[in-house]
């Protein structure tokens, strides 16, 4: 059995920071999944924080194995797959939930008062008029 050299301090700190950060994000994401109130809020835990947490742990693992002389592409491929599929699956889950219950869609923002709409329209026409070339048709 061959002994591997000890990790340099900078690499040891980087791997430790990645693993600790990853575990913290995964814990917060899992806590959000368990504690948030409705489906749409619960979806943010695994799709955002847990994805980042697992990605950090996998990158730290890839660095450690690379230093041990056994570089592995598996961790990087799993990380890439996770970062590509988690947002897509979260988007599809939201679309399916909104299709099943259209009332879950948030209301559209209310229209601003008519006086501000008129002043905004006049300001926009004044800006567009100032950018016209002389002699151009309206």
Q: What is the pLDDT of residue 106?
A: 80
Q: What is the pLDDT of residue 16?
A: 96
Per-residue pLDDT of the chain (138 residues; tens, 9 = 90+): 567 778 899 999 999 999 999 999 999 988 988 888 888 888 887 888 888 999 999 999 999 999 888 888 888 899 899 889 988 999 999 999 999 988 888 888 887 766 555 555 555 555 444 454 555 555
Q: What is the pLDDT of residue 102?
A: 86
**For residue 78, what are its two tokens?**
């799993």
SS3 content of the chain, % helix, strand, coil (to 5): 75, 0, 25
Asked if residues 43 and 93 have their Cβ atoms less than 8 Å apart, the reply is yes
**For residue 137, what are its two tokens?**
């048709």
Give the C-alpha separation, 85 to 79, whole Å: 10
């Amino acid at each position: 059995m061959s002994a591997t050299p000890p990790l340099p301090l900078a690499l040891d700190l980087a791997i430790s920071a990645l693993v600790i950060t990853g575990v913290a994000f995964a814990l917060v994401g899992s806590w959000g999944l368990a504690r948030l109130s409705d489906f749409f809020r619960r979806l943010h835990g695994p799709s955002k924080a847990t994805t980042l947490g697992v990605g950090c742990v996998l990158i730290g693992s890839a660095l450690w194995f690379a230093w041990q002389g056994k570089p592995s592409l598996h961790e990087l491929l799993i990380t890439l797959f996770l970062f590509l599929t988690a947002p897509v699956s979260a988007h599809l889950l939201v679309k399916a939930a909104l299709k099943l219950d259209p009332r879950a869609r948030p209301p559209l923002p209310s229209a601003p008062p008519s006086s501000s709409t008129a002043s905004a329209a006049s300001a926009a026409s004044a800006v567009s008029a100032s950018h016209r070339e002389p002699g151009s048709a309206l």
